[in-house]
């Protein structure tokens, strides 16, 4: 059976000249290394201004292809496409459209309103469950109105969850949040009709339960999400860093941070393999993106990663990570054929 969902990776030139037959099948795309607010045909496209640290291409575009017929639309500045199972949407917010008011920053308001618009759209279209969210914003560690911008983003995100009656435990998703070199706040989401299986990492405190020292409102995401599609299981591992419990480990030591991060990814994989029957996922099966704060750290990060993931595909980009003492963050994904299911509503053994 052909997989429902496939991610292909092209350089920007190839992606800009996509054959019509692929364009028709594209749910949406995320372009890393794309300098401005370029568009990619009519599909939802998240342009992310982050320098690539390796390879010939100036920019690389992940295009998500569907095996089903697609419908498209645009509402409240959100571009979206969907098939019978999954919806891909991209929201782009210019902070200048939101004035700072009563000490509430423009970024916080943009985040709150943007997420609320997104939740409204997902509810209207009947794809209420977030599977994977990609958050990118400029100057993520910068301080504004007395609070770091990532922390302002967290306040706005949590307010939107509350305003839209989304109980956090049930509606978290796999996610990442990183600092781009410039550009607007952009949020890309993959959402579905069915709830994902949300996974946590036994080595880490749930992000939602981080103590106050990391900001007045905690981030909302799970460590991974596993989703069922026809004939296919898709695993998304969230942006993962050198955090044990809730603390940053190995400040100043990028090699040790990379090792700790990979130990966290391995622990999340163990969780996936524990709760979902099937051929186990292993580290070399995954497709990775590593966000490196300082370009000069690339060789050290690459050495540690290659030692543990072998020949797996890894894309290295320069980005700011959401805590100023974190030097690296790694995300990953994998797809595998679905286990045979006995009947449609099958209950899976945990
Ligand atoms: C961490 O573990 C690192 O705010 O959506 C990773 C993944 C991180 C997602 C988010 C933040 C987010 O806290 C940072």
* DSSP per-residue codes, 334-349: EEEEPPP-SSTTPPPP
Residue among 228, 248, 263, 222 nearest 344 (CA): 228
Measured CA to CA, the distance from residue 266 to residue 244 in angstroms comes to 13
Average pLDDT over residues 8-19: 94
**Residue 238 Cβ < 6 Å to ligand 1:** yes
**Residue 122 Cβ < 6 Å to ligand 1:** no
Helical spans, DSSP H, in the chain: 12-16, 20-25, 106-125, 149-163, 168-171, 254-275, 298-309
Indicate if the pLDDT at residue 70 is higher than 80. yes
Mean pLDDT of the chain: 94
Measured CA to CA, the distance from residue 110 to residue 113 in angstroms comes to 5
Confidence of residue 348 (pLDDT cuts 50, 70, 90): very low
User: In testing the pocket of ligand 1, which one of 175, 246, 262, 268 has its CB within 8 Å of the most ligand atoms?
Assistant: 175
Confidence of residue 206 (pLDDT cuts 50, 70, 90): very high
**Residue 243 Cβ < 6 Å to ligand 1:** yes
Question: Is the Cβ–Cβ distance between 134 and 187 less than 8 Å?
Answer: yes
Task: Quote the pLDDT of residue 306.
Answer: 97
Q: To 5 degrees, how large is the angle CA 66–CA 191–CA 348?
A: 90
Comparing 121-135, 164-178, 301-315, the range with the smallest average pLDDT is 164-178
Residue 205: DSSP 8-state: -
Task: Quote the pLDDT of residue 158.
Answer: 96
Task: Quote the pLDDT of residue 344.
Answer: 46
Question: Is the Cβ–Cβ distance between 34 and 11 less than 8 Å?
Answer: no
Determine whether 329 is an active site residue. yes
Indicate if the pLDDT at residue 49 is higher than 60. yes
Range list of β-strands (E), 67-221: 71-75, 78-82, 86-93, 129-138, 143-144, 147-148, 174-180, 185-192, 197-199
Average pLDDT over residues 188-194: 97
Atom of ligand 1 nearest to the CA of 219: 4
As given in the structure block, the two tokens for residue 270 are 């163990």
Torsions phi, psi for 282 (to 5 deg): -130, 160
Count how many Cα atoms sit within 13 Å of the Cα of residue 293 in the half-sphere of its side chain. 21
What domains lie within the chain, and their CATH numbers?
5-337 (3.30.1330.40)
233, 260, 329, 331: the catalytic one is 329
Residue among 8, 53, 55 nearest 290 (CA): 53
Tell me whether residue 324 is exposed, middle or buried, using C-beta atoms within 10 angstroms of its C-beta: 0 to 12, 13 to 18, 19 or more. Answer: middle
pTM: 0.96
Task: Quote the pLDDT of residue 349.
Answer: 44
Indicate if the pLDDT at residue 301 is higher than 80. yes
Indicate if the pLDDT at residue 30 is higher than 50. yes
174: CA distance to ligand 1 center in Å? 9
């Amino acid at each position: 059976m052909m997989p429902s969902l496939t991610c292909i990776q092209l350089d920007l030139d190839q992606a800009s000249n996509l054959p019509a037959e692929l364009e028709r099948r594209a749910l949406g795309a995320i372009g890393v290394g794309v300098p401005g607010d370029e568009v990619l045909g009519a599909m939802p496209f998240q342009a992310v201004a982050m320098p690539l640290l390796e390879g010939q291409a100036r920019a690389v575009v992940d295009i998500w292809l569907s095996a089903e017929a697609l419908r498209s639309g645009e509402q409240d500045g959100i571009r979206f496409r969907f098939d019978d199972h999954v919806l891909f949407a991209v929201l782009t917010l210019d902070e200048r459209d939101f004035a700072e008011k009563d000490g509430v920053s423009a970024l916080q308001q943009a985040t709150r309103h943007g997420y609320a618009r997104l939740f409204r759209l997902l509810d209207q279209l009947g794809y209420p469950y977030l599977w994977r969210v990609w958050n990118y914003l400029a100057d993520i560690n910068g301080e504004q109105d007395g609070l770091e911008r990532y922390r302002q983003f967290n306040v706005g995100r949590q307010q939107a969850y509350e305003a839209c009656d989304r109980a956090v435990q049930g509606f978290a998703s796999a996610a990442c949040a990183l600092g781009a070199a410039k550009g607007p706040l952009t949020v890309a989401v993959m959402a579905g009709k069915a709830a994902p299986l949300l996974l946590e990492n036994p080595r880490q405190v749930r992000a939602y339960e981080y103590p106050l020292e990391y900001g007045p409102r905690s981030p909302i995401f799970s460590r991974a999400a596993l989703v069922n599609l026809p004939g296919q299981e898709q695993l998304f591992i969230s942006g993962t860093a050198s955090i044990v419990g809730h603390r940053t480990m190995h400040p100043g030591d990028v090699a040790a941070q990379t090792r700790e991060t990979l130990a966290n990814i391995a622990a999340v994989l163990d969780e996936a393999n524990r709760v979902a029957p099937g051929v186990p996922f292993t580290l070399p099966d995954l497709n990775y993106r590593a966000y490196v704060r300082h370009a000069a750290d690339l060789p050290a990060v690459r050495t540690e990663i290659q030692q543990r993931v072998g020949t797996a595909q890894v894309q290295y980009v320069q980005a700011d990570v959401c805590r100023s003492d974190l030097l690296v963050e790694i995300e990953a994904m994998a797809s595998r054929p679905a286990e045979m299911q006995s009947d449609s509503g099958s209950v899976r053994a945990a």
